[in-house]
Structure 1
Amino acid sequence: MAFNLSIFTLNCWGIPFLSKDVPVRMNAIANFLAQCSFDVICLQEVWSNSDYELIKNRVQDNLPYSHYFHSGVIGSGLCIFSRYPIIDSLFHQWAVNGYVHKIQHGDWFGGKGVGLCRILVGEHHVNVYTAHLHAEYDRENDEYLAHRVVQAFDTAQFIKLSSSPHEISVVAGDLNTEPYDNAFHIIKHVPGLHDCQDYKSEELMTNEAKSNNYRLMTAASPTAPGKRIDFILFKPPQGVSVDVRDFGYALPGKVEGTDLSYSDHEALLAVLSINFSMKSDDNKVSEVQTLRVNALEKAINVCEEALHDLKQKQLRLTYGVVFTLLALLATHILLPKLLPDGPLATGFNVVLHLSLLLTEVFLLFMITIWHRMEVNGINAGKLGMQLTLDKLINA
């Protein structure tokens, strides 16, 4: 049996109250998808349930099957629409996922992870994965590097352990990592995935692209070429030929009648041709093995450095607790003697004490509960990487 499978992916940039022009763009995305004949659609950053329902209702005729991956405080933002029946679904939330107090970043509140929908195309199962890794806010001083590396390994293991060698697997989403980053090498090489971009000579920039009217909000400079952080990857069934028939941008340049882009990311489309009667001629096993080993060794080093930094961070926070506690005691003893009686002095005293107390509680939380959660999450990733690395080296 042979069949074609078309996959569409887009980060919709649908953050309530923060993303620009959400109602106009979501309506345009829904209209476009309703008019197209894609087999599978993977969307990220659909943070509002009303936006998900809007798209679901609009594409119902062409894509009657859908699934939203609920997680965290505001939902994972991930959803999949399919022309073919979805027969199973599963979501894996990552153990390390940013910081609760970094409200301006917000990744933790989404409960990010990787979602799987298994669809039935004729008599064949197709595993469709979508993910949205932690964003990189500062490349020169990336405080989330270890989190993203652990997320990448978790994703790679999730794909490897939840798919059969005889099934085709497709991964589509915003991985927030560039092709030369170690996190991407882990996602690609550990489970043995192929990048659709490798079948096209021109590299497709998917974020901060020059044609995108939102690029200047985040681009490093007006002349920056953009970044490729959105991907469509696939894993062929063992010994089966899979050909990339088409790969490229999927959306028109602008929403019709406006100068607005559909998102701050570009959408991608891939058409895969799967032929179970033709055998694969892929003989690059040893090369892939070397890439896997290198990626895992680098990732383990990142985790070890992060664990060392966490020890130093815990020490600094401990000093903060001691200092704040002494400040509380000092203000409790000295402040009543320094300030005259009266409503103003009493109010100032209450506000100061409350501020110091809240600071004390926050610091205690960070050096106890949160510190242990982060250490355990990174340690779990590191031990899993070491286990996989040892198996590869001893194979």
Structure 2
Amino acid sequence: MSIRVATLNVWSLPAGLAKHKPQRMRAIYERVAGLNLDVVAFQEVWTQESLDALVAGSKRAGFEHTWHNPEPASGSGLLVISKLPIVKTHFEAFEAKGHSERLNHFDYYSGKGIALVTVEAPFGAVTLLDTHLHANYAPAQGLDEYKGIRAVQVLQLVTSVANLRTPLIALGDFNLEETETSYRVLLGLSGLRDTAVDLGVVQPTWISESPYQTVGQSDKRIDYIFCRDGRQQGIEPRKMSREFAEALDFDGVAGGYSDHAGLVAEFAPVPARAVIHPDHDAALALAAGLLDAGRAIATQRQFDQRLTSGGALAVGIATYNMARFAAQNRRRFLKNVLGFASSASFAMLAGNLALSEWINPKEVAVYDHAEQQLARIQADLRRN
């Protein structure tokens, strides 16, 4: 008896932001059919066409059970397909979403979160957690302004599985390298084990040689399959491999399954063991430091937005008065230019006020809630 699972970020972005989507979705479900899998967790299924193709193709391969968000473009981008019966599902949107003013950083508007899907395996119920944490949009420069956001998301994930009684397999695109602080926080506070490390098969999943990567990218491991025993049933990883990494040819154009490689792992039932939280004291301290740093960034952004609002107000008033003066002196062109500048300044004022007084306070409040979650996690660890 065993359960075979896979994870793959399929890179199906809307508005033409991803290449070869129809061809790649077909290649993905055809490959899935040949891997003898029980459950597959996908990420970045953000177009209706890709969702329909993956669900239909997977059903033809025997995956009769599915879970996904109703609206791909505004949803989590998560899709779970299963040959095993799905007996329970739960979804939580991330409280920390990113920065709303970064329109080129899609995370804030994407509805990312945590999907908990419990399936009936041959040896009993197993819960799979499919997720996709906030991206690092400047890895080459090392300027990761979203470390605090991901730390909050990690704490929400830890909290969501704290009272879970079934064996847990957490998989997806975590956007974390194992050298990052949030990786240590995740393992230290959740009791999850890194399957690739346990089996000695650590491989990058973001591969620089992929035809979809830009020049200068480096290999890194940001997709994972983690596991944890349940209260009455344990699971042990037996095999693991990297899949979906091969090059493909689409009518003479080099391509692949995705801009990520996927992972496949097989787990067998074992007697339940006590869940170990390695270095949880250090993980608690690291989490607190990440939250402090994230809060400082959010507070500074709010200050900068208020400062910009003040400058926009001053410029708007000045240009408005100058436009009135120009109108009185029949300088039509100058009046129009100054009128436009005044309108633009007041628009900037309105936008920054919305950010600083409505949206940004919510971000600061998210850090308050994360600190409360961390305190509860600490109390639970001390009781256990």
TM-score by length of 2: 0.91
Q: Deviations over 1:149-177 (max 9, x none)?
A: 0001101111223x21xx21111100000
Q: Is the contact made by 2:90 and 2:115 (CA closer than 8 Å) also made in structure 1?
A: yes
* Structure 1 residue identity aligned to 2:242: Y
Residues of 2 paired with 1:218 and 1:70: CA distance?
37
CA contact (8 A) 1:321 1:360 kept: yes
Partner of 1:184: 183
- Is the CA contact 2:246–2:256 (under 8 Å) kept in the aligned structure 1? yes
Shift of 1:243: 2.6
3-state SS of 1:176 partner? coil
Work out whether residues 253 and 261 of structure 1, in 8 Å CA contact, stay in contact via their aligned partners in 2.
yes
Can you give the 5+ residue segments of structure 1 that lack an aligned partner in the other structure?
Answer: none
Query: How big is each residue's C-alpha offset from its partner over 1:13-58, in whole Å with a ceiling of 9 and x where there is no partner?
Result: 1112111222221221122223442100000001012211111111
Would you say the 8 A contact 1:70–1:76 is kept in 2?
no
Q: Are residues 1:150 and 2:140 paired?
A: no
- Give the structure 2 partner of residue 361 of structure 1: 350
> Letter of the aligned partner of 2:224 in structure 1?
F
Shift of 1:215: 2.7
Structure 2's unaligned 5+ residue stretches are none
Structure 1 position 315 matched with structure 2 position 311: no
Instruction: Name the CA shift for 1:179/1:132 in 2 (closer, same or farther; >3 Å).
Output: same
Partners of 1:368 and 1:279 lie apart in 2 by 50
From 285, 290, 296, the equivalent of 1:302 is 290
Q: Which of 12, 15, 28 is the matching residue for 1:14?
A: 12
Matched, 1:214 2:182: no
1:64 shift after superposition: 0.4
Report what 1:141 is aligned to.
Answer: 143
- 1:187-202 paired onto structure 2 within 5 Å: 187-202=186-201
Q: Taking structure 1 as reference, are residues 5 and 391 closer, same or farther at Cα in structure 2, changes over 3 Å only?
A: closer
Q: Indicate if the aligned counterparts of 1:156 and 1:188 stay in contact, CA closer than 8 A.
A: no
Give the Cα separation in 2 of the matches to 1:60 and 1:73: 22
Deviation at 1:347, TM superposition (A): 3.8
| Kept in 2: contact 1:146–1:306 (CA 8 A) | yes
Displacement after TM superposition at 1:93 (Å): 0.8
1:37 paired residue number: 36
Q: Over the residues paired in the alignment, what is the CA RMSD in angstroms? A: 2.3
Residues 40 and 83, structure 1, Cα contact 8 Å, conserved in 2: yes
Judging changes above 3 Å, is the alpha-carbon distance between structure 1 residues 48 and 334 closer, same or farther for their aligned structure 2 residues? same
Q: How does 1:244-283 map to 2 (within 5 A)?
A: 244-251=237-244, 253-255=246-248, 259-275=254-270, 278=271, 280=273
Would you say how many aligned residue pairs link Structure 1 and Structure 2? 377
How do 1:1-395 and structure 2 match up within 5 A?
3-16=1-14, 17-61=16-60, 62-70=62-70, 74-122=74-122, 124-139=124-139, 140-161=142-163, 163-164=164-165, 167-207=166-206, 209-217=207-215, 219=217, 224=218, 226-238=219-231, 240-251=233-244, 253-255=246-248, 259-275=254-270, 278=271, 280=273, 285=276, 288-289=277-278, 291-338=279-326, 341=330, 344-393=333-382
Q: In structure 2, how many angstroms separate the alpha carbons of the residues matched to 1:279 and 1:157?
A: 21
TM-score by length of 1: 0.88
Query: 2: CA distance between counterparts of 1:121 and 1:391?
Result: 29
- Deviation at 1:250? 2.0
Amino acid at match of 1:65: H
Distance 1:153 1:279, change over 3 A: closer
CA contact (8 A) 2:95 2:366 kept: yes
Is contact 2:167-2:234 (8 Å) kept? no
Query: What secondary structure, in the 3-state scheme, does the structure 2 residue paired with 1:171 have?
Result: strand
SS in 2 for 1:307: helix
Is 1:71–1:93's contact at 8 Å kept on the other side of the alignment?
no
Equivalent position SS for 1:101: coil
**Distance (Å, rounded) in 1 between the aligned partners of 2:54 and 2:199:** 30
In structure 1, give the amino acid aligned to 2:24: R
**Shift of residue 255, structure 1, vs aligned partner:** 2.5
Q: Hey, which bits of structure 1, 4+ residues long, moved more than 6 A? A: none
Give the CA deviation at 1:311.
3.0
Counterpart contact for 2:47–2:73, Cα < 8 Å: no
Letter in 2 for 1:271: E
Cα deviation, residue 84, structure 1: 0.9
How far did residue 87 of structure 1 move? 1.8
Q: Deviations over 1:121-163 (max 9, x none)?
A: 24721111100000012343221111000001101111223x2
* Alpha-carbon spacing, 1:59–1:315, altered in 2? closer, same or farther (3 Å): closer
Higher deviation after alignment, 59-68 or 330-339: 330-339
- What is the rounded CA distance, in whole Å, between the counterparts of 2:181 and 2:158 in structure 1? 13
Match of 1:107, SS state, is helix
The Cα of 1:324 is off from its aligned counterpart by: 1.2
CA-CA distance at 1:265 after TM superposition: 0.5
Counterpart-to-counterpart distance in 2, 1:313 and 1:264 = 32
User: How far does the alpha carbon of each residue in 1:307-365 deviate from its partner, in whole angstroms, 9 at most, with x for none?
Assistant: 23433332332222222112111111123324663664454344222211210111111
What amino acid is aligned across from residue 369 of structure 1 in structure 2? W
Letter in 1 for 2:126: V
Structure 1 residues 194 and 362: CA distance shift in structure 2, 3 A: same
Cα distance change on mapping 1:199 and 1:356 into 2, 3 Å: same
Give, in whole Å, the separation in 2 of the partners of 1:88 and 1:353: 56
Distance 1:201 1:86 in 2: 31
